[in-house]
C-alpha cells in the first residue's frame, strides 16, 4: 500500500452551505473542485477537519469507530471558527453514505478506510478578515490505509520544547489547519537540529501534546495525561485509551504535570503518542536541553502495547464494544 494519506477512493461526497442553509449532499467521482481565488479559506484559514476510521471485520461487515464523537468534535471545531455548523445528522449520513459507496475499498485488518470530513469557508471576499464565511463547503474523503506498523514498531524520538506553544487558547482544541502551520516551524527545526520525529509542546513546563498527537505516560496499572482544557486537541484515541484503562482496573490520572515530573516518571514508565492514524505509538527517547533521556530503559514498551492491543481488539470486534463506540455500515 502507498504512503498514508496519498491514496483515495473513487467517490467522495460534498454538501454546500448557501443562502443560510445546507443543500442536499452529492456523492460524486473524486475530482478537483473549482474554487473562487478569493475564497475565505485561502486567506483567513476558515477550515477544520476530522480523521477517523472504518474497519472491516473478519465476517466482512464494516464498522466506523466513534462516528458520533467525531461528528460532535467537528461541530465544535466549526463553531469555534464561526463557520456554518453542519447538522449532526447531515454529517453522520454523509459519512455513512460515502463509506457505503466505497465499501470495497475498506481493507482487511490491520488496514482501515481512513475518513476525512473537511469543512472550508468559500465566501469570495478578501475584505472578510474580521468577519466569518457565510458560505461553506463540507466534503468527506476516504482513503484506504495499510498497517501503520508494517515495518514493526519504531519507538519515536521526541524533543521537549518548554518555550513554544503549539496553538493558542482560542483554537487549541479546534482541529484546524492553522495549528499545524504553527507547529511546523518548531518541528522542522527540531528534526534538523536533534534528529527527532516530533516536538512535545510544554509551554511554561505544562506537558501538552505534539503537533498532531496527544501524549500519555503509561504504566502497567496506571495512566497519566493532561486534563481536558482549551490548549490541546481532545483526542478520541486518548479518551478511548483512558476508558479502556479504567475498564482494565488501571488508575487513570488526568491532571497537569511538569517536564520535571515527566522526566522522573519515564525512568521507570512507558510513554506514548496517541491518535487515530497510529493508535498508540511508544516514545523511545526524549531530548531536553540538549540531553537525551531514554524512556523506561530496557523495557520493550509492553505497557503501551497492552493498551494498544486492547484498543485494536475493539476495532476488530474481538473485544466486546461495551461503550457503544462502533456504528455498523449497511
Ligand atoms: C487529530 C489530533 C489528535 C488525535 O486525535 P484523535 O481523535 O485521537 O485522532 C491529537 N492532537 C492533534 C493536534 C490532532 O490534530
The percentage of the chain sitting over the pLDDT mark of 70, rounded to a whole number, equals 99
Q: Is the CB of 213 under 6 A from ligand 1?
A: yes
What distance in angstroms lies between residue 297's CA and the mean position of ligand 1's atoms? 27
Q: Which ligand 1 atom is at minimum distance from the Cα of 236?
A: 7
Q: Is the CB of 111 under 6 A from ligand 1?
A: no
CATH match for 11-145 among 3.10.20.600, 3.30.470.10, 1.10.3720.10, 3.50.50.60: 3.30.470.10
Task: State the pTM of this model.
Answer: 0.97
CATH match for 156-316 among 3.40.50.10710, 3.20.10.10, 1.10.3300.10, 3.40.50.2300: 3.20.10.10
DSSP secondary structure string for all residues of 85-154: PPPHHHHHHHHHHHHHHTGGG-PBTT-EEEEEEEEEE--B-TT-TTS--S-EEEEEEEEEE--TTTT---
The percentage of the chain sitting over the pLDDT mark of 90, rounded to a whole number, equals 95
Residue 1: per-residue pLDDT:
55
What distance in angstroms lies between residue 19's CA and the mean position of ligand 1's atoms? 32
Mean pLDDT within 67-79: 98
> What residue ranges do the domains of the chain occupy?
11-145, 156-316
Model pLDDT for residues 203-259, shown as the tens digit of each residue = 999 999 999 999 999 999 999 999 999 999 999 999 999 999 999 999 999 999 999
Model pLDDT for residues 14-68, shown as the tens digit of each residue = 999 999 999 999 999 999 999 999 999 999 999 999 999 999 999 999 999 999 9
- Cis, bond preceding 182 (omega within 30 deg of 0): no
Q: Is the CB of 235 under 6 A from ligand 1?
A: yes
Q: Is the CB of 317 under 6 A from ligand 1?
A: no
156-316 shares the fold of 11-145: no
Q: How confident is the model at residue 296 (pLDDT cuts 50, 70, 90)?
A: very high
Instruction: Please state, as a whole number, how many other Cβ atoms lie within 10 Å of the Cβ of residue 150.
Output: 9
Q: Which ligand 1 atom is at minimum distance from the Cα of 179?
A: 13
Mean pLDDT within 182-203: 97
Q: Is the CB of 98 under 6 A from ligand 1?
A: no
Amino acid at each position: 500500500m502507498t504512503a498514508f494519506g496519498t491514496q483515495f477512493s473513487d467517490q467522495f461526497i460534498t454538501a454546500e452551505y448557501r443562502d443560510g442553509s445546507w443543500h442536499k449532499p452529492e456523492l460524486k467521482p473524486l475530482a478537483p473542485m473549482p474554487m473562487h481565488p478569493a475564497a475565505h479559506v485561502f486567506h483567513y484559514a476558515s477550515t477544520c477537519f476530522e480523521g477517523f476510521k472504518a474497519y472491516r471485520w473478519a465476517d466482512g461487515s464494516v464498522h466506523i469507530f466513534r462516528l458520533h464523537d467525531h461528528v460532535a468534535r467537528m461541530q465544535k471545531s466549526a463553531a469555534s471558527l464561526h463557520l456554518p455548523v453542519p447538522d449532526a445528522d447531515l454529517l453522520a449520513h454523509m459519512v455513512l453514505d460515502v463509506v457505503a459507496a466505497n465499501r470495497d475499498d475498506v481493507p482487511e485488518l490491520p488496514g482501515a478506510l481512513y475518513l476525512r470530513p473537511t469543512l472550508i469557508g468559500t465566501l469570495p471576499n478578501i475584505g472578510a478578515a474580521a468577519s466569518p464565511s457565510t458560505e461553506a463547503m463540507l466534503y468527506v474523503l476516504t482513503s484506504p490505509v495499510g498497517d501503520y506498523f508494517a515495518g514493526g514498531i519504531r519507538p519515536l524520538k521526541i524533543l521537549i520544547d518548554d518555550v513554544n506553544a503549539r496553538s493558542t487558547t482560542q483554537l487549541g482544541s479546534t482541529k484546524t489547519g492553522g495549528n499545524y502551520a504553527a507547529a511546523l516551524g518548531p518541528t522542522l527545526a527540531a528534526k534538523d537540529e536533534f534528529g527527532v520525529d516530533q516536538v512535545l509542546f510544554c509551554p511554561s513546563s505544562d506537558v501538552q501534546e505534539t503537533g498532531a498527537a496527544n501524549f500519555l505516560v503509561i504504566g502497567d496499572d496506571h495512566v497519566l495525561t493532561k486534563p481536558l482544557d482549551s490548549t490541546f486537541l481532545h483526542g478520541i484515541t486518548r479518551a478511548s485509551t483512558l476508558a479502556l484503562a479504567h475498564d482494565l482496573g488501571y488508575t487513570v490520572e488526568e491532571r497537569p504535570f511538569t517536564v520535571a515530573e515527566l522526566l522522573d516518571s519515564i525512568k521507570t514508565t512507558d510513554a506514548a503518542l496517541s491518535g487515530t492514524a497510529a493508535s498508540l505509538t511508544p516514545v523511545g527517547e526524549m531530548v531536553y536541553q540538549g540531553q537525551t533521556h531514554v524512556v523506561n530503559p530496557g523495557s520493550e514498551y509492553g505497557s503501551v502495547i497492552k493498551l494498544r492491543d486492547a484498543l485494536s481488539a475493539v476495532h476488530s470486534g474481538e473485544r466486546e464494544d461495551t461503550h457503544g463506540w462502533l456504528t455498523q455500515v449497511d
